[in-house]
Amino acid sequence: MKPNELGAPRNPTNIAQAIMLVVKVGLEVFDAACHIAVQYKKTKEELSK
């Protein structure tokens, strides 16, 4: 553990990594939600036939 890791929470690289992580997770969640929505729509159409 580097000595400045605790002392500098506003480290730009840490902030950038945190933002990247949030964006990545957000995109994965969005992708999953779209996939679920498509499956739901297909299932609903199948049931309504």
Query: What is the value of pTM for the model shown?
Result: 0.57
Tens-binned pLDDT, residue by residue, of the chain (49 aa) = 555 555 555 678 888 999 999 999 999 999 999 999 999 999 999 999 8
Query: What pLDDT was estimated at residue 6?
Result: 59
Distance (Å, rounded) from C-alpha 28 to C-alpha 22? 10
Residue 4 belongs to a domain? no
Query: Do 4 and 11 form a contact (C-beta atoms < 8 A)?
Result: yes
Question: How many domains does the structure of the chain reveal?
Answer: 1
**Three-class secondary structure of residue 42 per DSSP:** helix
Residue 34 belongs to a domain? yes
Query: What pLDDT was estimated at residue 9?
Result: 58
- CB count in 10 Å sphere of residue 11: 13
Distance (Å, rounded) from C-alpha 13 to C-alpha 4? 12
Query: What pLDDT was estimated at residue 13?
Result: 86
Q: What is the span of the domain harbouring residue 29? A: 14-48
